[in-house]
Amino acid sequence: MYLASCYTFLKEIYLMKTLYIMRHAKSSWKFEELSDHDRPLNKRGRNDAPLMGQELAANNAQLQLILSSPAVRALTTATLVARELDYDADDIAVNDRMYGASAEELLEIAREAPADVDSMMMVGHNESISEFANMLSPKHVASMPTAGVVALRFNCDSWYDIKRDNAELLFYDVPKNHK
């Protein structure tokens, strides 16, 4: 009996995938000569990204992979969050396809994650990042503000199998909740 319940518990843990979907933090429009791709974070963004990283740490987020758009504002957000989670920023995977990706393309990218990764974060851009969260979340998620994070857990053992039908919304958090 005891062994059976331990097996059931372990099976539930290891047959789960956890996905954190994050919109990049607030960017600056101060430098008109910069392309959209090269816009940095503004002061608020440089404060909000680590704040959300701290909140993720408080929620025991154990990321095995961080995927980021190559845009400066997204990669900086991912880096600031990674620092708060003791995740080596050099291990952030930059995926060029995430910049300008649709929600469907983001799903394709998520489904390509390595099988041995059970917990990952994707840092991208609106409107597609909010659409992506709503594509997978069993509960509606409002349009994500900058630095907003949606956490979803999927009852499956393959990223290829993630979908709304096997998802649980763990939380939806925004910087405003902590100010």
Q: Is 129 inside any structural domain?
A: yes
Per-residue pLDDT of 96-145, as tens digits, reads 999 999 999 999 999 999 999 999 999 999 999 999 999 999 999 999 99
Q: Is 7 inside any structural domain?
A: no
pLDDT at position 146 over 60: yes
Confidence bin at 33 (pLDDT 50/70/90): confident
Q: Is 111 inside any structural domain?
A: yes
| Residue showing tokens 């949606």 | 150
Domain count, the chain: 1
Please tell me whether 73 is known to bind a ligand. Answer: yes
Confidence bin at 30 (pLDDT 50/70/90): confident
pTM of structure: 0.91
For residue 15, give both structure tokens: 């047959």
> For residues 33 and 39, what is the distance between their CA atoms, to the nearest angstrom?
9
Per-residue pLDDT of 124-133, as tens digits, reads 999 999 999 9
Strand 167-173 versus strand 149-155 pairing type = antiparallel
Contact 122, 81 (CB under 8 A): no
Q: Is 56 inside any structural domain?
A: yes
Q: Is 2 inside any structural domain?
A: no
CA torsion sign, 63 to 54 to 89 to 167? positive
Q: Is 109 inside any structural domain?
A: yes
Domain that holds residue 118: 17-178
Contact 112, 85 (CB under 8 A): no
Task: Check which CATH number belongs to the domain holding 154 and give it.
Answer: 3.40.50.1240
